[in-house]
Structures are given as C-alpha cells and as structure tokens.
Amino acid sequence: MAAWAPKRFWTAAGVTAAPGGFAVALDGRPVKTPAKAPLVVPTAALAQAIAAEWDAQAKVVDPRTMPVTRAANSAIDTVSPNRSTVLGMIAAYGGSDLLCYRAESPPPLIARQVAAWDPLLDWVATAHGAPLRVTAGIVHVAQPPESLARLDAHLETFSDFELVALHDLVALSGSLVIGLAAAANLAPADDLWRLSRIDEEFQAELWGQDEEAAELVALKQADFLQARAFLDLARDPRS
C-alpha cells in the first residue's frame, strides 16, 4: 500500500510580519510546524526561502524537497524545547574533535593532516581562546577544561535557528572546530567539507573509490552545504 501524502491545496505562499519575526502563509492561512506551533522565523530571507519551497510543490507535497522548511521546523519543535540537550550534543564533539586525532603513518597522510588541520586549530585557539591538544592514534586525549568551557560559552551565543545548522555542520564533519569555522565564514563551505575528508580521500587515492560510498558522501556533502546556506538565511542582515 502506498504511503499517504498531502496534496497541494493552496494557490500561493506568502510572507507576513509576525510577533518575533516573519510567518509563512498559504493563501493567507499561517503555516504551522508538525507540532502545531506557529512557523515564525527570525528573518525575512528565511521566510521567503520557506515560502518558495511551498510554492515549488506540485500536486503532492514532498518534504524531501523542502530542506529549509524542515530545518525551521526542527528549530521550533526540537531545539527550542530541548536547547540544553542540543547544546550538549554539539559541545561533546569538542572533547573528541576529528582534527585532534592524527594518523601514525604513512608520512604523506601525516603531512596532509598537519597542513590542513593545524591552521584550523590555530584559529580556534586564537579566536576563542581554546587551544586543543593533538595526539597520534585513536586513544582518547583529554582536552583542557578551560578550552572546552570557552567553546561551550560561544555555543550559547547561537540562536535556536543557528543551532539547527551548526549541529549538522558539526555532526557531518565530525568536528566542532570545522563547524565553528563554517559558521564564522572562515573559508568556503566546500573547502571546509574537503578538510573533513582528508583521511577518506587519501585512502581513496590508494585503493580506489567505492561507488556506493561515494554516493553517500555526496549526499552528506549536500547536507553540509545546505546547513551552511540555512545559517546565512537565519542571519540575513536585511531583516
């Protein structure tokens, strides 16, 4: 039996001012989140992007083609009522950041990691006063508590909508530092994504690329870039 899917019932989606930001309406009727909360977002640009996704739907609504709407729903329904939990999930990556665990061999991979990752660790040490320790191998290395505390404090400055994007940037890359660098526009999102894939790309050069694995990586990369784009929308200065 085919799964039920909602059909398009509106003519046009629009944006209206609302208490706390901007709302999306379908033929004048406000859109709500899956938890039935008002879909009110902080910027006009974000609301316009959501409205565009609704307008792009054909006869049947396909949530898979509405990443901006899904992220906004998550900010309202998931992050807002569980903010401390989400902050803890993101912060946990700082204690085992990808960039801090280096290969023990071969020398070309070690050199590639140093060249790619050391500048990011230098940046987080300078920009956030949070130097992190580096180790070779996979044995856990404890990070300075004062560094983790400073990173935690910085995470608190992100809005619920920004945290939705930051969570994906961090989880997909495996690195709190890369996620924060993306949020700070330290480098293009494509470049930062590639930095998170140093180990995998090195192995692919040696042994070849598995087609299924490559397809999965491409999907993750698209999600990483989408998260970065959502962050821009949530911060749009025109609002």
User: What confidence tens digit (pLDDT) does each residue in 184-202 have?
Assistant: 999 999 999 999 999 999 9
The pLDDT of residue 4 is 41
Instruction: Judge contact between 34 and 73, C-beta under 8 A.
Output: yes
Distance CA 38, CA 34 (A): 10
When comparing pLDDT for 205 and 125, which is higher?
125
Tell me the CB-side half-sphere exposure of residue 87, using CA atoms within 13 A: 17
The pLDDT of residue 214 is 86
Three-state DSSP class for residue 111: helix
Q: Domain-by-domain residue ranges, the chain?
A: 13-81, 82-234
Residue 70's CB is within 10 A of a number of other CB atoms, namely 18
Question: Range with the lowest mean pLDDT among 47-61, 141-155, 160-174, 203-217?
Answer: 203-217
Distance CA 118, CA 133 (A): 11
CA 211 to chain centre: 25
The pLDDT of residue 211 is 82
Maximum Cα–Cα distance for the chain, whole Å? 62
The pLDDT > 70 percentage for the chain reads 96
Three-state DSSP class for residue 36: coil
Distance CA 202, CA 122 (A): 23
Instruction: Judge contact between 153 and 120, C-beta under 8 A.
Output: no
Give the DSSP H/E element, type plus range, for residue 190. helix 189-195
Beta pairing, strands 101-102 & 135-136 = parallel
For residue 165, give both structure tokens: 């994007």
Q: To which CATH superfamily is domain 13-81 assigned?
A: ATP12-like (3.30.2180.10)
CATH class for the domain made up of 82-234 = mainly alpha
Beta pairing, strands 40-41 & 135-136 = unpaired
The verdict on pTM exceeding 0.75 is yes
Does 167 have pLDDT greater than 70? yes
Q: Can you say whether residue 28 is alpha, beta or left, with left for phi > 0 and alpha for psi between -120 and 50 degrees?
A: left
Give the DSSP H/E element, type plus range, for residue 26. strand 21-26
Distance CA 19, CA 40 (A): 8
Mean residue pLDDT of the chain comes to: 93
The pLDDT of residue 111 is 97
Distance CA 175, CA 2 (A): 39
